[in-house]
Amino acid sequence: MARDFEDHCWKDIISSDVLKIYEPYRRDLYVGDRPALLAIDLYNSVYQGDPTKYPEELVDQYPSSCGKFAWDAVEPTKKLFVACRAADLPIIYLTGSVRKNRVHSTNRQSSYDGSNKMMDIHPAFEPKDGDLIIRKERASAFHSTPLVAHLTRLGVNSLIICGESTSGCVRASVVDAYSYGYHVTIAEECVFDRSAISHKVNLFDLHHKYADVMVLDEITAHLENAFPSTQAAE
């Protein structure tokens, strides 16, 4: 049985009146036929501090941390990586620039200490040979980066998105991806933010306007069906 279009994490905060306004956006959801996985800002500084604490408990010492929200997404995101690798999809990581005198993606004060280590991909999602790592200075994965050139070279026509933050770099990247003509699927359990409200409201809005928000099981089932010749990864 197909999942209801609105059966997602935002259903506890979006009123029936608002849902009525957004009814014209209802449609069938899908994963594109030539997708790549875009992993946005899964770098070390996001995971700083106690994994059981929320961002507001960590912000004084670790303003870049997403705290418990980041750590809750680790296992689902690892499963998404396994499914995408099993389907032999291109894996593209976006992370922050370490260039001296770089510009910043937002106006938020950062706990970045000037070392490359904070912008390195977290060990839970360690890149493998053949993966791409693209450094960016603005919120969007597309702004002043070679991402489109790589996607064209790889024959990609759609994207599966994971990472953070839902209201920031994920949102900016999704809107730009849609503007470039890519079909976008967001893995609901694999994106996160520093604020639960910002996460839910932005995911709701992206789902209706620019992307198909799907739960992890739906995405992995699609990949297994679409790439039957590929053996599931252990």
Would the CA dihedral through 163, 168, 174, 176 be positive or negative?
A: negative
Q: Which residues pair with 187 in a beta bridge?
A: 214
Q: Is residue 1 part of a domain?
A: no
Report whether pLDDT(230) > 70: no
pTM above 0.85, yes or no: yes
Q: What is the pLDDT of residue 214?
A: 98
Tell me: the pLDDT tens digits for 30-61?
Answer: 999 999 999 999 999 999 999 999 999 999 99
Q: Which token pair is 61?
A: 């010492």
How far CA 104 is from CA of 1, 14, 50, 110, 111, in Å, comes to 44, 32, 26, 10, 13
Distance of CA 232 to the CA centre of its chain: 22
Residue 178 lies in a domain: yes
Q: What is the CATH number of the domain that holds 18?
A: 3.40.50.850
In a domain, 133, yes or no: yes
> pLDDT tier at 117 (50, 70, 90 boundaries)?
confident
Residue 113 inside a domain? The answer is: no
Over range 146-157, report the average pLDDT. 98
Which domain does 196 fall in, by range?
9-39+73-99+127-226
Please report whether residue 177 resides in a domain.
yes
The domain tally of the chain equals 1
How many angstroms separate the CA atoms of 46 and 121, rounded? 10
Per-residue confidence (pLDDT) for residue 234, from 0 to 100: 43
The CA R_g of the chain, rounded to the nearest whole Å, is: 17
Is the residue at 187 inside a domain? yes
Domain-embedded: residue 4:
no
